[in-house]
Structure 1
Amino acid sequence: MKQVFILRGLPGSGKSHYAQNLCDEMVNGDEAQYVVCSTDDYFMTDGEYRFDKSKLSEYHNLNLARFIRALSQHIPLVILDNTNIRKWEFVAYAEAAHALGYQVKEVVVGEIKDKAMQHLYYQRNIHKVPLKTINKMAYQFEW
């Protein structure tokens, strides 16, 4: 069965860890059997994350193209690892997956509204997203 998981959650909530666990459990970590698509990958330069807001739209488009390419190659497990705070941010991914015969599951990782958890996510997010931004993202989260 071909499956897509759309991960949603605040920075630092454990989405990437969750994605890796899915790959390990579902396809025994066989890299030919899965693709994890994260817009964050495009901000990596020489092993360092360098966010550039002016590139965000371009990189989201590149990530969507990579996602669709994986679907068209019939990769059994495709994971979208973005924050996906608002539903419009991942609707194109879900529609492409459905169109190509994939089962789609949306997974919210972590506790969105819990202020203590937001503080923990701030402390452990590797991209240095400020607490104020994480709080704002939690407020804007669409269920």
Structure 2
Amino acid sequence: MKQAFILRGLPGSGKTHYAYALADELVAGDETQFIICSTDDYFHNEQGEYHFEKFRLPEYHNLNLARFINALAEGIPLVIADNTNIKRWEFVAYTSAAQAMGYQVKEVIVGEVKDKSMQHLYAKRNTHGVALRTISKMAYMFEW
């Protein structure tokens, strides 16, 4: 059975960790059997350093969606979208594409969105330097 997972959650909530754990559980981490599509990947330079550039976000989101759709078209058994997906419109194209290609789709909210103490933890542990203020704003805007 082909599966697509749409991860949602605040920066630092553990989405990427969850994605790799899911791949381990469902396909024993066999890299030929899964792909994790994250817009964050596009912000890494050749040395592997992360440099966020807000003006590139729309471009990189489009590239990530294209990568996701290409993975579906290739029939990769497990395709995971690893983005914050705060608003529903941010991930509806992922869901629609996966359903159209015959994938079973599951939306997973990783972490506690509204818990203020968890937001503080996420601000401390996210690897991209997203400030607590931004995380709290994202939590406020989160659509269920």
Per the normalisation by structure 1, the TM-score is 0.99
Q: CA deviation at 1:61?
A: 0.4
Q: Mapping of 1:16-95 within 5 angstroms? A: 16-45=16-45, 46-95=47-96
Q: How far does the alpha carbon of each residue in 1:1-52 deviate from its partner, in whole angstroms, 9 at most, with x for none? A: 0000000000000000000000000000000000000000000012111000
Which blocks of at least 5 consecutive residues in structure 1 are unaligned?
A: none
Q: Distance in 2 between matches of 1:3 and 1:47?
A: 29
For residue 140 of structure 1, what is the aligned residue in structure 2?
Answer: 141
SS of 2:108 mapped into structure 1: strand
Q: Distance in 2 between matches of 1:102 and 1:133?
A: 33
Q: Distance in 1 between matches of 2:93 and 2:7?
A: 14
Q: Is 1:101 aligned to residue 102 of structure 2?
A: yes
Give the counterpart letter for 1:102 in structure 2: Y
Q: CA deviation at 1:101?
A: 0.2
For residue 2 of structure 1, what is the aligned residue in structure 2?
Answer: 2
For residue 117 of structure 2, what is the aligned residue in structure 1?
Answer: 116
Q: CA deviation at 1:141?
A: 0.2
Q: How far does the alpha carbon of each residue in 1:80-107 deviate from its partner, in whole angstroms, 9 at most, with x for none? A: 0000000000000000000000000000
Q: Distance in 2 between matches of 1:20 and 1:138?
A: 24
Which blocks of at least 5 consecutive residues in structure 2 are unaligned?
A: none
Q: What is the alpha-carbon root mean square deviation over aligned residues?
A: 0.4
Give the counterpart letter for 1:60 in structure 2: H
Pairs aligned (count): 143
Per the normalisation by structure 2, the TM-score is 0.99
Q: Distance in 1 between matches of 2:94 and 2:56?
A: 19
SS of 2:102 mapped into structure 1: coil
Give the counterpart letter for 1:71 in structure 2: L
Q: Distance in 2 between matches of 1:93 and 1:111?
A: 23
